[in-house]
Amino acid sequence: MRFRPPRPDSPKRVLGYLAGLVLFGIVGAIALAYTGLYNIAADHGHPPPVYWFLEVGMTRSIELHADNDEVPPPAAPGLARLGAGHFAGGCEYCHGKPGVPPDPISRRMLPMPPKLERASDHWTQGELAWILDHGIQASGMPAWPSQVRADEVWAVVAFLEELPNLSTAEYERMVAGNARLGARSADEITDWGEAEASLTGCARCHDTPDAPPVSTLVPRLGGQSRDYLLAALKQYHLGDRESGFMMPVAAALDAAQRSRLADYYAALETPPHEQAPPDEGAVARGEQLALFGDKDGMIPSCRSCHGEGARADYPKLDGQSADYLAQQLRLWQDGVHGRSEAGRIMATIAQRMSAEQVKDSAAYYASRPAFAPGGGTRQARADGAP
């Protein structure tokens, strides 16, 4: 028998074979889904090739999409403590805490949420920030509650950097923030459950009579105007004001609770932020802007809205932290804030401010004696002034 070389196929034919293969693949995939042959049960687990496929796909996708050149915002004092407050309420249930096995319910998720003590070894800061901001599809990992506050996830990244070094007790102390979470009695446990740090525990991040806010990025609330506090809580509740930290908290609070909290904080005496003394030049320039505005830049004086005799739904700024004030002004400049009625006023003005003016005005208000319940300042009260 004579050897007959296979006849070279025409290019047209090769294309035909390829199209057939693709069609076969599509039909096969549809058949797999439609027949229900693949077992989707979480307790069944993935077959090793599928596991490999998903794991590699996820890792490569994160590495590709995360921006490692993105410069994290300069670390504000207490940044990791702020992240800790959110972690305990938002992440701990699935990811567990140091020295304690994860919750039996979350352990039955597939994929099982990883313990995060190794997260900062495994991922770069940019990758962690990306995962926190965007979440991971079909894994149970949600995206950040506010999709326009990528700045906030860095607090959680900072906390994840510290997590590997924390003992159980240190972790508990850190996530409690300013809240006094003591052991509960049997009665309390039967009614309320264990003293878990709930997201809605304001004192985990905000000020108490004994302590300032845990971070300079967290506003001081004690003595703030009641109407402003109520409006802010309502805006967070409705999603009109953006914050991945505050939106889940306020979403859980009904109108009566919000009103009680506003009353409570408006009457609360609390110590001011612990923050580095502001630059004197910045304070002087900020004072000029706060008292007289900038006519050429069409910026009215800050005090025309944030001074004596201002509306009750305008916030008091005296003694607020510079980091927080500057951050809020930048959010108005970036168009993140400005959906509420009052926010639209401030957005117009903030967008006329230069980066320098933002820093200067924040430094000036941070340098002022801190506001107190009613009117006046804490200092004036200590001096016995009426």
Partner 1 sequence: MKRAGPLLLLLLVAACAGPQSALSGAGSGSGRALLLTIVMTVGFTAVFALVLGLTALAIFGPQGWRERFGREGWVYGLGIAFPVVVIGALLLWGFAILGADEALADAEDPVRIEVTGERWWWRVTYLTDDGRRVESANELRVPVGRTVELALKSADVIHSFWLPAYAGKTDMIPGRTNTLRFVADEAGRVRGQCAEYCGGAHAFMAFWVEAMPEAAFEDWLEHEAGPPPETSFPDGETVFLSSGCGGCHAVRGTPGASGEIGPNLSHVGSRTSLGAGIMPNDREAFVRWVADHQEIKPENNMPPYDILNDEELAALGAYLEGLQ
Question: By the criterion CB under 8 A, which residues form the site for partner 1?
Answer: 293, 295, 298-301, 304-305, 309-311, 313-314, 341-342, 344-349
Per the listing, tokens 């506001």 go with: 371
Shortest distance (Å) from residue 312 CB to partner 1: 8
CA distances from 182 to 96, 197, 268 (A): 20, 11, 22
Determine the Cα–Cα distance for residues 277 and 352; give it in Å rounded to an integer.
27
Instruction: State the burial class of residue 220 (Cβ atoms within 10 Å of its Cβ: 0-12, 13-18, 19+).
Output: buried
Determine the Cα–Cα distance for residues 283 and 340; give it in Å rounded to an integer.
29
**SS3 of 100, please?**
strand
State which H helix or E strand residue 361 sits in. helix 355-367
Q: Would you say 184 or 339 has its CB closer to partner 1?
A: 339
- Biggest alpha carbon–alpha carbon distance for the chain: 118
CB 359 within 8 A of CB 330: no
Secondary structure E strands in the chain: none
CB 87 within 8 A of CB 153: no
State which H helix or E strand residue 51 sits in. helix 48-65
Shortest distance (Å) from residue 281 CB to partner 1: 24
Shortest distance (Å) from residue 239 CB to partner 1: 18
Phi and psi torsions of 294, nearest 5°:
-135, 100
Q: Would you say 342 or 353 has its CB closer to partner 1?
A: 342
Determine the Cα–Cα distance for residues 249 and 204; give it in Å rounded to an integer.
12
State which H helix or E strand residue 134 sits in. helix 125-134
Dihedral of CA 30/35/40/43: which sign? negative
Shortest distance (Å) from residue 70 CB to partner 1: 32
Shortest distance (Å) from residue 365 CB to partner 1: 16
Q: Would you say 215 or 340 has its CB closer to partner 1?
A: 340
Q: Would you say 259 or 301 has its CB closer to partner 1?
A: 301
Q: Would you say 277 or 309 has its CB closer to partner 1?
A: 309
Shortest distance (Å) from residue 349 CB to partner 1: 6
Q: Would you say 2 or 295 has its CB closer to partner 1?
A: 295
Shortest distance (Å) from residue 304 CB to partner 1: 3
Token pair listed for 211:
């302590």
Per the listing, tokens 């979403």 go with: 251
Shortest distance (Å) from residue 341 CB to partner 1: 4
Q: Around 229, how many Cα atoms within 13 Å sit in the side-chain half-sphere? A: 23
Q: Would you say 74 or 309 has its CB closer to partner 1?
A: 309
Q: Would you say 217 or 342 has its CB closer to partner 1?
A: 342
Torsion of CA 244, 248, 253, 254, to 10 degrees: 100
Shortest distance (Å) from residue 227 CB to partner 1: 11
Q: Would you say 143 or 345 has its CB closer to partner 1?
A: 345
